[in-house]
Amino acid sequence: MLLCAGVTYAPSGTPSSTPTGSPTSIALPKLLNMNTGATSRLQIDCQDTTDRITDIYSLISTLSDPQDVLKDGTPQYKATKWLLYEDERGLCPDDEFLLQRYTMAVIYFAFGGRKWRNCSSMVNNSPCVTESERYLSKESECDWFGSKCNQKGLMKQIQLGKNCK
């Protein structure tokens, strides 16, 4: 459940159509071209870069329409680009929290997170009590502002209040 400026968002309960499972020959070049040059800063210890990208794309495509993931400017595209090339956590495809982290990044981009009053990724514009609360930080998404997880680290509620007006 997502609470944002007094509005509650919840899953529709109706499954979407089944997306494709793996990148096509068209998708891989697009995914590789998302790279902003930040990869060299990340410590990724799981596999070959191309395999990591294709495996993560396959997983993300189980949640998001692959066309949205590849369309420049969509929240899904921005979240995928961040997860693949900018997220300091450098998650591997087999990380149990990868899809949760991706989902939180989609929410951040979909609700204009860069303009939020509290704990935006824009450090100078958005104060936080602690840096671990900052969205898109290397910390667990369970620590991000307004997030509530259970003891297993699974998201159970996101309450952004007036942050996402």
The parent domain of residue 114 ranges over 47-146
Condensed to tens digits (0 to 9), the pLDDT of residues 37-81 reads 544 455 566 767 788 888 999 999 999 999 999 999 999 999 999
pLDDT > 70: percent of the chain:
72
pLDDT at position 108 is 93
Domain count, the chain: 1
* Mean pLDDT, the chain, whole residue set: 80
Does 23 map to a domain? no
Does 86 map to a domain? yes
- Global pTM reads 0.79
- What would the DSSP string read from start to end of 52-118? HHHHHHHHHTTTS-HHHHHSTTSHHHHHHHIIIII-TT---TT-TTHHHHHHHHHHHHHTTGGG-SS
